[in-house]
Structure formats: C-alpha cells, structure tokens
Amino acid sequence: MLERAKPLLTTIWKRFRSYPFFVQLLLVFPVLCAMALTLLVGNMGLALMGTAVAINSLVAGWVGGVFVLILGKAGIILAKDSQNKR
C-alpha cells in the first residue's frame, strides 16, 4: 500500500516546496497552532476558561495562526518600508 501512495506523496511534497516560503507558512503554521492549542488546553479547557460555548480548538488554532502570520507579514513590510525611508 505504501508503494502506491509514495508517488502521490512525492508529488504533493514537490508542489508544496514549489510555493513561496510565506505560502508554505500559511499552510503549516495554523495547523501547528491548532495542534498546540489542542494539546495544551483541549476543548474542555477552553469551555472552562469562561466561554459559554466550547470553542473548537482546531478553529481557534487556525484563526490564531493566520492572525499571527498576517501580523508578522505586516511587520516585515513596515520594517522594510522604514528602512527604505532612511
């Protein structure tokens, strides 16, 4: 079974690596944030932290990950802009 999946995995990996670095981060970083939030807090932990409805940690991780990446990219743009003005 692994031999049949190997060409597909190779194709997916090559396509993923062909994307720009920021797009790769957009695909990977939110997933890692979601996993970290799930492992650290869990759904019941989120429910006990004061939310009326249990927030799915996968959704919270994706939102947090995308938010951090967008803020990071904005910070890079601002830093480059401030260097160009000097």
Q: What is the CA radius of gyration of the chain?
A: 18
Supply the pLDDT for residue 48: 63
- Ranked by mean pLDDT, which of 16-20, 51-55, 78-82 comes out on top? 16-20
Crossing angle of helices 2-18 and 21-40, in 10° steps, is 120
Q: pLDDT: is 13 or 54 the higher one?
A: 13
Cα distance between residue 65 and residue 79, in whole Å: 21
Domain boundary assignment for the chain: 57-86
Q: What is the pTM of this model?
A: 0.46
Judged against a pLDDT cut of 80, whether residue 28 lies above it is answered with yes
Digit-coded pLDDT (tens) for 33-79: 777 776 776 666 656 665 544 556 667 777 777 788 788 888 888 88
Cα distance between residue 48 and residue 29, in whole Å: 26
Cα distance between residue 14 and residue 12, in whole Å: 6
Supply the pLDDT for residue 52: 46
* Under 8 Å between Cβ of 43 and 50: no
